[in-house]
Amino acid sequence: TDTRALVAIDLGAESCRVSLLRWTANGPQSTLVHRFLNNAMETSEGLRWNLTQIEAGLDEGLKKCAEIATEGIRSIAVDGWAVDYARLDESGAAIGDPYCYRDVRNIASEGAVHEILPASQMRVLTAIGIMRINTLYQLYADKMAGLPQTRWLHLPEYILHRLGGRAVSEYTNATHTQLIDLHRGEWATGIFEKLDLDPEMASPIVPPGTIVGKLAGPLALVPAFRDTQLIAPCCHDTASAIAGIPDAAEDWAYISSGTWSLVGTLLHEPNNSQPARDENLTNFGGAGGRILFHKNVNGMWLLRNCLDAWREAGRDWTFEELLPLAEALGRPQYLINVDAPDLLLPGDMPARINRQLEENGRPTLSPYPEDAPGMTALILHSLAFRYAEVLDAIASITGKKLKKVYIVGGGSRNEVLNRLTAQATGLEVVRGAVESSTLGNFAVQMAALENSADAQSIAEWAATLRTAF
């Protein structure tokens, strides 16, 4: 058997991670080899990701992996946040920095798209939830701005391509474009045509676990990287994170908790029923042919942006300090709507929250940052309440008798939120892996290399590798 190590790259909106899976005498071990911060930057040309910095960070991470794994590296796979993409020039290099899905340009493009193709019609066609962050609205925003309509690749697939892989659009990530026919698993060329977007600029769809090439370029000269395969895992980080939950039962829901909270359950078939459409629950592709049936709920984004605002106002609160203080305050009298569109935008979050309170005739929380525990309590209780609302809707729409909810991802470390979630939902909360996307990424790699990337092999590998974290 091949005992070389595996590398998983996980691109996050707050940080990017390069991890190594090695086979030791004590079983498989995953190590976080390199982590670097990420953040979209407000520029004169919109909210953008610094792609040069991301690529430099990954290069550094890969070099560190090669130094550690003297046994050699068998494969590399990349997952990351969905929807954002790089436009490519003739040579396959990115044209400029990619836009962030939170850029305000999508507000106008969403309106323009729906004038041509009404949201309700689009929803029936695609089974995908209508969200203005979806790739479709961004491609249309490019068009409205008169930007060149060149080939584009989502960021994980772009990284794989830059490392030497062929240009592909991995299926789980492709579903988040809102440009796919979920039933056929193919690009919905009709939608492209209606919106005068060129389907030829998208890349061929491949299933998770597809080997897309071999590492090429300068890194391939490093001895550990001889004959290293490049694999498209579930390139959508959330699909990877859910692939990292090895539970074959039907009685569980998930919350993939990071910048966003993805609140949902796995299905065997898409559910595009009227109630699912009314709730704007989305169907996305998952590992092994499963469907992620969920809703994007706000997440650590709210707290992260509050911490940033408080720091700028002179007080550098940490989560560790704030959480017990917030918990001690108990349930606030009023809650906020965590999914109000205004709270998805960057900027002074405490002010945005206060504005919402004010608009609803509630007393505001001031002055800050002194009132950070109060604001934190408000956010946590409001999130837990929203999770419960969404899970109730999911249970009634799917007819599932939910017993437990797995919480995976960085946000699962927030024990206060976990307790509030247990109270609000009445479900047993089970903590999964903090690095569940990386776990799912490795599981799909192993299934692809050793078996086939079907649901059962992926789940078996996820169970085997769970102990590596």
Active site residues: 237
- Which residues, 6+ apart, have CB-to-CB distance to 115 below 8 Å? none
**Min dist. Cβ of residue 315 to ligand LRH (A):** 28
Taking the C-alpha atoms of residue 163 and residue 159, their distance in angstroms, rounded to an integer, is 6
From residue 117 to residue 156, the character string flagging contacts with ligand LRH as x (rule: CB under 6 A) and all else as - is ----------------x-----------------------
Residue among 83 and 212 whose Cβ is closer to ligand LRH: 83
Q: Which of residues 180-239 bind ligand LRH (CB under 6 A)?
A: 236-238
Which one of 80-88, 155-163, 321-329, 397-405 is the stretch in contact with ligand LRH (CB under 6 A)?
Answer: 80-88
Q: Which of 21, 75, 81, 288 binds ligand LRH (CB under 6 A)?
A: 81
157 binds ligand LRH (CB under 6 A): no
Least distance to ligand LRH, CB of residue 251, Å: 23
Decide: 62 and 132 in contact? Cβ < 8 Å.
Answer: no
The pattern of x and - marking residues 295 through 324 that bind ligand LRH according to CB under 6 A reads -x----------------------------
Contact 234, 79 (CB under 8 A): yes
Task: Give min distance, CB of 271 to ligand LRH, in A.
Answer: 18
Cβ 292 to ligand LRH shortest distance, Å? 9
**If binding means CB under 6 A, how many residues of this protein chain bind ligand LRH?**
13
Closest distance between ligand LRH and the C-beta of residue 140, in Å? Answer: 17
- Shortest Cβ 227–ligand LRH spacing (Å): 31
* DSSP β-ladder status, 15-24 and 27-37: antiparallel
Segment contacting ligand LRH (CB under 6 A): 32-40, 78-86, 90-98, 185-193?
Answer: 78-86
Which of 238, 61, 57, 235 lies closest to 156 in space, CA to CA?
Answer: 235
Considering the complex, state which of residue 170 and residue 460 has its C-beta at the smaller distance from ligand LRH: 170
Give 205's strand partners.
169
Beta-carbon contacts of residue 110 (< 8 Å; ≥ 6 apart): 132, 137
- Interface pattern 257-296 for ligand LRH (x via CB under 6 A): -xxx-x---------------------------------x
Up-side HSE of residue 168: CA atoms within 13 Å toward CB? 25
Q: Which stretch binds ligand LRH (CB under 6 A): 40-48, 81-89, 105-113, 269-277?
A: 81-89
Nearer to ligand LRH, 132 or 236 (CB): 236
Closest distance of CB 230 from ligand LRH, Å? 21
Pick from 16, 18, 33, 82 the residue near ligand LRH by CB under 6 A.
Answer: 82
Q: Which of 83, 153, 297, 462 binds ligand LRH (CB under 6 A)?
A: 83
Residue from the set 101, 152, 192, 461 that interacts with ligand LRH by CB under 6 A: 101
Taking the complex as a whole, the smallest distance from the CB of residue 84 to ligand LRH amounts, in Å, to 7
Which listed range, 77-85, 220-228, 356-364, 416-424, lies at the site for ligand LRH (CB under 6 A)? 77-85
Of 161 and 236, nearer to ligand LRH (C-beta) is: 236
Q: State the residues that interact with ligand LRH by CB under 6 A.
A: 81-83, 101, 133, 236-238, 258-260, 262, 296
